[in-house]
Chains A and B, each alone.
Chain A
Amino acid sequence: MTRKPPEPVEVVKSRREAALARLVAGVPYIGFLGARFDRRGDELTAVLPFHPSLIGNPAIPALHGGATAAFLEVAAIIELAWSSLWQDMEEGRIDPAAETFPALPKTITFTVDYLRSGLPRDAYARATVTRRGRRFATVQVEAWQDNRAKPFAQASAHFLLPEP
């Protein structure tokens, strides 16, 4: 019995990196915030490097609640888009270099809880798709700074999925 040899790891990695880079580059606002995404296999961690323009209250100083909310929303949208892109890519239905790329989900509601004030440091976020239906999806996202066990903000969001 002959089996197809597995793809070289460099090929697999560069395909996945290209798909993620293209997804993230497709949202100008992510560049404005200065956020990026670290990938381990299919797991994403959103990273928001600290920048003085993210400060809300210069007296403390603390991250702006709006910057925190935006970071969580970006992390949630990218996770949701990435998880469906991943499946399509791994099963060969989507070529990350193809001209057309799937549309992004649209936010319907976004609820953010502020647990402690954001420090003037880098922030990290991980999102989980709790449910994905045909039209709607629900995503939970949590952000932390120095200590993973002490999140400084969490959010829950409902999204409208793009037409297949």
Chain B
Amino acid sequence: MSDRLTQAQAVMQSLPHAQSLGMILAEMSAGQATITMPYDPRLIGDPATGVLHGGAISALMDTASGAAVMCHPSAPAATATLDLRIDYMRPATPGQAITARAVCHHVTRTVAFVRVTATDADESRPVAMGTGTFTLERPPA
């Protein structure tokens, strides 16, 4: 793995909020990132069903999207979310980890475009899908 990717991984794993949600960086390569968040009762939105709160899934999808931007071949110096739209297709199955896969599919000089999908153990039926735009700070020339 290149130095840049190793560095990006270290940055990702030092984010306090990502850490407090228990996120694990599973994969990171050329504009693609996969992050997993184990099931945790503290993140429940509806105790009657045990389903995770949408906010926790949004946080996971935002983190995976930012990671995908950071490891894009254009080698950004920094990124920040401009906007993120998430469609929740079905409740996540209680007890199962959530995995977010993000792809930074296009960048301009200043903006990065990302698609992100969240799944539980049944990967054929996504829990949520999102699209986002991110700022792109180019490293000083």
A57 with B15: CB separation less than 8 A: yes
When chains A and B are docked, how far (Å) is the Cα of A73 from the Cα of B43? 13
Q: Interface readout for A93-122 with B: 1 if CB under 8 Å, 0 if not?
A: 000000000011011111111100100000
Among A27, A109, A111, A112, contact of B53 (Cβ-Cβ < 8 Å): A27
Chain A neighbourhood of B58, CB < 8 A: 66, 69-70, 73, 110, 112
B20 at the A interface (CB under 8 A): yes
Q: What size tier do the contact residues of chain B reach?
A: 35 or more
Chain B residues with CB under 8 Å of A31's CB are 42
- Can you show 24 pairs from A to B with CB atoms below 8 A apart? A26-B46, A27-B46, A28-B41, A29-B43, A29-B53, A32-B42, A52-B16, A53-B16, A64-B18, A64-B62, A65-B81, A66-B58, A67-B17, A69-B62, A69-B84, A70-B58, A73-B55, A73-B58, A74-B55, A110-B85, A110-B88, A112-B83, A113-B83, A117-B80
Binding site for A on B (CB under 8 A): 14-21, 41-48, 52-56, 58-63, 66, 78, 80-88, 91
